[in-house]
Amino acid sequence: MKLVHGYTLRELLDFRDRYDLKRLFDVIIQIAFALEYAHSHRVAHRDIKPENILVGPFGEVLLLDW
């Protein structure tokens, strides 16, 4: 399993004074694209929550806990 560094969306929302709104929208859009891709392949996540969304140090977004 790949080791990934970053913060969960829950952690970012708890400290949102240090994280701007535009970057939060970018995270949400990337998650929407990931879900669209999964749904087009008939895969459902069924556990979407801020704790399962990881934002890396370079802005990469991962949807965890498949």
Q: Is 47 a catalytic residue?
A: yes
Helix (H) or strand (E) holding 61: strand 61-63
DSSP assignment of 22-37: HHHHHHHHHHHHHHHH
The answer for residues whose C-beta is within 8 angstroms of residue 18's C-beta and 6 or more apart is: none
- Say which of 17, 20, 26, 47 is annotated catalytic: 47
Catalytic residue numbers? 47
